[in-house]
Structure 1
């Protein structure tokens, strides 16, 4: 079964770990490596030039302090210069978890909303998909911005949210991707049951560690095989059929 990891932070792995991931990788079609800041973008660009399988996305992860305006402008300028080498804009979004733990102030959150609007307009201008970190209460805000600029090529990675937002995302044609958490988390299984298979991708979000059968293991794209197995059970289809469908979804979305 050929697979694509639709969301991984390869720049956060050590060089030897990247080599290990790519060793005997004839079953891998591609790896979408997302960025967290400008240095991360540069590292992912280097990896994409070194390995044909790697497709780099450029952005600024929201679960950190927002960049100063000068730093943000420098990032946007760099992204504009490298848009031909960019598979997508991402990872971008809003700092839900930091906000809930009161580590991001309301004004900083507002700044992220402004930055996200810029990322969305650039994705539209550059004709690139956008990879989003937008969960729970933040998802409707992001949907508002996507609708405002008529952006439909939106990928909500590791999504969690309410029924109304899920219905809205499905209707708008937005994609989601599920991590190995689908194997042991009922809320993710329920989401997948609700979401059309034609709008689902798989990911690892590595090197983020997982629990259940993956406890203590380095997050590796091979874990997606377990995700496909659970996805097939939920959709009552064969693993081969689900793998083929998910692969086709991802190739179409990212123009691979």
Structure 2
């Protein structure tokens, strides 16, 4: 396939030279949705989008970190408001599943993260922007509650993992999911995509997050999606070319690019 869209990558975490190399690959035409970690990350993603027309930035606050203080949050929201016309989506936002597990502290307060996420959901609704979500396992139903409360339909659960009841709920609501290169070696992801409708899927790398299996020791590059998409086509028993085309169209339509 000559056109690919990486639906979820942290391009701001790559060096300038690495980014040049990524877009220098002439084997396919690449576009990316680059999500943000915080205000500084959002600013770098905006700058990158001004330099490369195929970089589409999303602004937000990644939940797997300490909550911002009131001043930091005010600055982020004000900046997002001022730059919303250059913003493709709100993201990455969500709930801190892995942070809670890492701390293993029963006193961990998730309420503040839920309040913050709801603010981002309200912004996405008001600005009519898609929202890129970090919401896995037990956190996903909480996020679904908030999305349903505010009637937000353009929701993208990146690298999603969850139980069958939640998967059915996502499908019923028309939410999108995306898979990473770990589809090649992770049975959990293979089982998920076997069940999930192809017209509600996108491909991503979540780079620079590293992968195992055949990708072990390699820097994460959007070209890895080729291997992942071939695996998806095999699982779905669909022609490879048609799977490429549908994933591309799904992502273009969802993110309005």
Pair in the same fold by TM > 0.5: yes
Aligned to 1:192: 193
What is the distance in 2 between the residues matched to 1:236 and 1:64?
A: 40
Aligned to 1:118: 119
CA 1:106–1:32 in structure 2 vs 1: closer, same or farther (change >3 Å)?
A: farther
Superposition pairs for residues 105-184 of structure 1, below 5 Å? Answer: 106=107, 108-184=109-185
Deviation at residue 151 of structure 1 after TM alignment: 0.2
Deviation at residue 102 of structure 1 after TM alignment: 1.9
What is the distance in 2 between the residues matched to 1:207 and 1:39?
A: 17
CA 1:181–1:100 in structure 2 vs 1: closer, same or farther (change >3 Å)?
A: same
| Cα deviation 1:81-119 (Å, max 9, x = unaligned) | 000000000000000001112267756421110000000
**RMSD (Å) for aligned C-alpha atoms:** 1.2
Is residue 2:16 matched to residue 1:27? no
Deviation at residue 30 of structure 1 after TM alignment: 1.2
Q: Look up the SS of the partner of 1:145 in the other structure.
A: helix
Contact 1:87–1:129 (Cα < 8 Å) also in 2? yes
Any unmatched runs of 5+ in structure 1? none
Superposition pairs for residues 1-256 of structure 1, below 5 Å? Answer: 1=1, 2-25=3-26, 27-102=28-103, 106=107, 108-256=109-257
Aligned length: 256
CA 1:227–1:103 in structure 2 vs 1: closer, same or farther (change >3 Å)?
A: same
| Cα deviation 1:50-82 (Å, max 9, x = unaligned) | 000100000000001110111111101100100
Contact 1:48–1:55 (Cα < 8 Å) also in 2? yes
Deviation at residue 25 of structure 1 after TM alignment: 4.3
| Over 6 Å off, 4+ runs | none
What is the distance in 2 between the residues matched to 1:214 and 1:193?
A: 22
Contact 1:175–1:200 (Cα < 8 Å) also in 2? yes
Any unmatched runs of 5+ in structure 2? none
